[in-house]
Amino acid sequence: MRIGIIGSGGQLGSDLVAVYGEESVLRFDRPGFDVTNPTQFDFLTMGQLDYLINTSAYNEVDKAEEDLEGAFQLNAFAPARLAEFCMKEGIRFVTFSTDYVFGDPVGVQRDLPWNEMDESIPLSIYGISKYSGERMVLNRNPDAIVIRTCGLYGRARNVSRRKNFVDLMLQLAKDKRTIRVVSDQIVTPTSTWSLAGSVQELLKRHPEGGIYHMSNMGECSWYQFAQTIFQMAGYAPEVIPVTQKEYGAKARRPKYSVLSKEKIGLFGVALPSWQSALSRYLDQLISD
Ligand SMILES: NC(=O)c1ccc[n+]([C@@H]2O[C@H](COP(=O)([O-])OP(=O)(O)OC[C@H]3O[C@@H](n4cnc5c(N)ncnc54)[C@H](OP(=O)(O)O)[C@@H]3O)[C@@H](O)[C@H]2O)c1
């Protein structure tokens, strides 16, 4: 089995390489391979790939508000072109999307996990670009697999990619800073290690093309997540809960974006709880 991984130095890419093993993987990374340059796609045919897994993305949610073009190039046009290319070459294409394709239903506070059939009404340019990517990928290649996930953190091989929420909280606690964390946004933080293992499990079952939700089990606010990080890591900084509005980020995020895992459950695939995935991540940081 030959797996091509685009963005193998990123958080998820690094754990996918670890899960599949170096010997099964071909890496497609910048500067040699840039997803926004289709003239380089012929490189993808050299390794007789069974799967191409695209982890590249424009992930800077606030910056995307002022960079429509950048966000759409990476999150919509590039995956669509890759999907079309893979269809032509007989390579199974896998790419990732986000819980931010969902919005806030008018007049009610949602508290039920979203399933794959629920209507997407993204609130941000990032969410709109990822949603457009999903639609374009499946339009060009109905056999493609689009995995929506949420709140990723992991150990990227590329050190410039090491800036996730957990690492940031630990750094702020070490610096003894007062920390403001959003408490009115409910998510499921997800470790890329647990996601990568479950992606491998899902693909082994040869699922049909379409959208799949994959994140750790359970839910919490970013504030509760931060508090759990500090408890587990043995820090006691001053943490102040703030609303999204008070925090003042440029892009709007959904107040509740927990993903239902019922569909992957039908394949016998399940991720661990966010607490146990976090505990493993912190143990690994200590042993590094
Ligand atoms: N992070 C989250 O919280 C989150 C939440 C929901 C969904 N997701 C989705 O999950 C997937 C994986 O996210 P992640 O957090 O693992 O991402 P990441 O750590 O930011 O890694 C992205 C990778 O893509 C590469 N890349 C960026 N632009 C590229 C280009 N033009 N050509 C080739 N490679 C390029 C980067 O390479 P360089 O190192 O060279 O820049 C990096 O290796 C993405 O689709 C993301 O949208 C993420």
Summarised one tens digit per residue, pLDDT across range 182-215 is 999 999 999 999 999 999 999 999 999 999 999 9
Q: Looking at ligand 1, which residue's alpha carbon is closest to its atom 28?
A: 56
Q: pLDDT per residue over 51-92, tens digit each?
A: 999 999 999 999 999 999 999 999 999 999 999 999 999 999
Q: β-strands 220-221, 186-187: how paired?
A: antiparallel
Residue 105 reports pLDDT greater than 90: no
Domains along the chain with CATH numbers: 3-287 (3.40.50.720)
Closest atom of ligand 1 to CA, residue 36: 31
Q: Please, which pLDDT band fits residue 267 given cuts at 50, 70 and 90?
A: very high
Q: Which amino acid residue places its CA nearest to atom 10 of ligand 1?
A: 96
Residue 161 has pLDDT above 80, yes or no: no
CB-based contact 277:230 (threshold 8 Å): no
Q: Which amino acid is at 86?
A: C
What amino acid positions are annotated as catalytic residues? 126
Ligand 1 site residues (CB inside 6 A) read 6-7, 9-13, 29-30, 33-36, 55-57, 59, 74, 96, 98, 149-152, 156, 158, 161, 192
pLDDT at 160 over 80: no
pTM: 0.97
Average pLDDT over residues 40-56: 95
CA of 55 to the centre of ligand 1 (A): 5
Mutate which of 96, 166, 225 to test ligand 1's pocket (most atoms within 8 Å of Cβ)? Answer: 96
Q: What is the pLDDT of residue 167?
A: 96
Sequence-distant (6+) residues with CB within 8 A of 211 are 97, 116, 134, 138, 146, 147, 148
Alpha carbon of 56 to ligand 1 centroid (Å): 4
CA 111, CA 242: separation in Å to the nearest integer? Answer: 20
Q: Which of 56-60, 176-180, 258-262, 266-270 has the lowest mean pLDDT?
A: 176-180
Q: What integer best gives the mean pLDDT of the chain?
A: 96
Torsion of CA 271, 230, 61, 123, to 10 degrees: 70
Query: What is the 16 CA–ligand 1 centroid distance (Å)?
Result: 13
pLDDT at 159: 78
